[in-house]
Amino acid sequence: MKVPVFAEGRIHRPEYATSIINDDLVDGVYMNRALICDPELPAKLSAEREKRIRPCLACNQGCQVRRNMGKPLMCILNPVAGVEARERIQATAEVKKKVLIVGGGPSGMEAARVAASRGHKVTLWEAGMELGGNAKLGLPEFARALAFWQNELVDRGVTVVTHKQASTDEILAETNLLHNHDSHHSSSHEHSVHRNLGDIVTLIENSDMAPQIKVKSVAVFQKLAYAEAKIHGTVPEKIHFHEVGAVDAIVDIVGAVTALHLLNIDKILVSPLPLGQGFVRCQHGVIPVPAPATLELLIGMKTFGSEHKGETVTPTGQLYYRP
């Protein structure tokens, strides 16, 4: 009676397994580590999709070594290994998006592969001449892994751009997250003059406006100065207003206070304020929406998330609604 003989131990490549069996050395093989790296290896072989097999490095770093240390199993090439139940990747995304990934090392290529496999339109930027990062300097096994990722990127339609340094403005332009519009952070302000709180208070107090308008206008700027000071870790007196210190912004604020006074309005009712999303460019550079000072001033107020890309609530705009 013939007893089936199986072999195991560093049989991590399909061609090794095929060679051993075809040479009648054994009847079958165990490919333990290779199946941790790519559980779909047998199915891909059967479907003649060898290029789609994630190559095992036989490095033992995520499987054998961690097991001996009593730690959960993982794989340095398969980020889902050991957490399949928690991190199962959906086949197709419900909403297709434009995805930009900066950095073409192993992590960047894997992120691009997964995003593209879910149906997203993916662009991958790499500053160097070719993809791979430091893995290009490794053993021949790493070359097999890089070849796998590169084939995946081509097959899944990922746009790869090399020699590409990623600046903040280029990233925002590529992803359509930068919104230029007439707002608190618009570039149309008188940016050459940066006034501090004392300068603005002097302008208001030396005007011919009614005392009540002066008091309320100064109060608005004081609230804004306290919020900006908290964000920048300083005191209100040292805050220099950029966009808000421009003449047109001062006129906007004082004009609104004047209108409320002349119309004899003593109460304003407002619904929850919508929070926009994305980024805007101001004198401080590119900042997220809502702006930091806006978030500080919104503490205690009712808000709701909005899909509007842009600045829907400005620091000065919502100051009128605060008690």
Nearest to 195 by CA among 251, 229, 239: 239
Lowest-pLDDT range of 137-141, 192-196, 207-211, 283-287:
192-196
Q: Are 110 and 89 in contact (CB under 8 A)?
A: no
Cβ neighbours of 59 (radius 10 Å): 18
Tell which wins on pLDDT, 187 or 72. 72
Buried b or exposed e, range 156-185, using 16+ CB within 10 angstroms: bebebeeebebeeeebbebeebbbeeebbb
Q: Is the pLDDT of residue 244 over 60?
A: no
Report the C-alpha gap between 256 and 261 in whole angstroms: 9
Percent of all residues in the chain with a pLDDT value above 90, rounded to a whole number:
17
Lowest-pLDDT range of 16-30, 151-165, 180-194, 195-209:
180-194
pTM: 0.53
Q: Over range 292-308, report the average pLDDT.
A: 83
pLDDT at 174: 76
Q: In sequence order, what DSSP letters do the residues of 23-61 get, joined into one string?
A: TTS-SEE--HHHHHH-TTHHHHHHTT-GGGSPPP----T
Per-residue pLDDT of 54-80, as tens digits, reads 999 888 888 888 878 888 888 988 988
Percent of all residues in the chain with a pLDDT value above 70, rounded to a whole number:
87
Tokens of 297: 């001033």
| Eight-state DSSP code of residue 3 | P
Tell which wins on pLDDT, 321 or 121. 121
Is the alpha carbon torsion for 111, 117, 119, 123 positive or negative? positive
Q: Is the pLDDT of residue 167 over 70?
A: yes
Lowest-pLDDT range of 105-109, 137-141, 207-211:
137-141
pLDDT at 113: 93
Nearest to 313 by CA among 179, 181, 182, 184: 184
Q: Over range 206-219, report the average pLDDT.
A: 89
Q: Are 147 and 248 in contact (CB under 8 A)?
A: no
182 falls in which pLDDT band (50, 70, 90)? very low
For residue 315, whether the previous peptide bond is cis, meaning omega lies within 30 degrees of 0, is no
Q: Is the pLDDT of residue 180 over 50?
A: no
Q: At what angle do helices 211-232 and 247-262 cross, to 10 degrees?
A: 130
pLDDT at 197: 82
pLDDT at 283: 63
Report the C-alpha gap between 91 and 118 in whole angstroms: 6
Q: Over range 74-100, report the average pLDDT.
A: 83
Cβ neighbours of 261 (radius 10 Å): 16
258 falls in which pLDDT band (50, 70, 90)? very high
Which residue carries 């605060």 as its tokens? 322
Q: Over range 34-48, report the average pLDDT.
A: 90
Q: Over range 246-253, report the average pLDDT.
A: 76
pLDDT at 149: 92
The helix/strand/coil state of 196 is strand
pLDDT at 290: 82
Q: Over range 198-218, report the average pLDDT.
A: 88
Report the C-alpha gap between 321 and 303 in whole angstroms: 13
246 falls in which pLDDT band (50, 70, 90)? low
Q: In sequence order, what DSSP letters do the residues of 124-187 get, joined into one string?
A: EE-SSSSS-GGGGGS-HHHHHHHHHHHHHHHHTT-EEE-S----HHHHHHHHT-B---SSTT-T
- Cβ neighbors of 110 (< 8 A, separation 6 or more) are 79, 149
Q: Are 161 and 138 in contact (CB under 8 A)?
A: no
Tokens of 36: 């941790």
Domain ranges of the chain: 1-88, 90-166, 195-319
Instruction: State the chain's mean pLDDT as an integer.
Output: 82
pLDDT at 277: 82
Q: Are 291 and 191 in contact (CB under 8 A)?
A: no
- Name the fold adopted by 90-166: Rossmann fold (3.40.50)
pLDDT at 38: 92
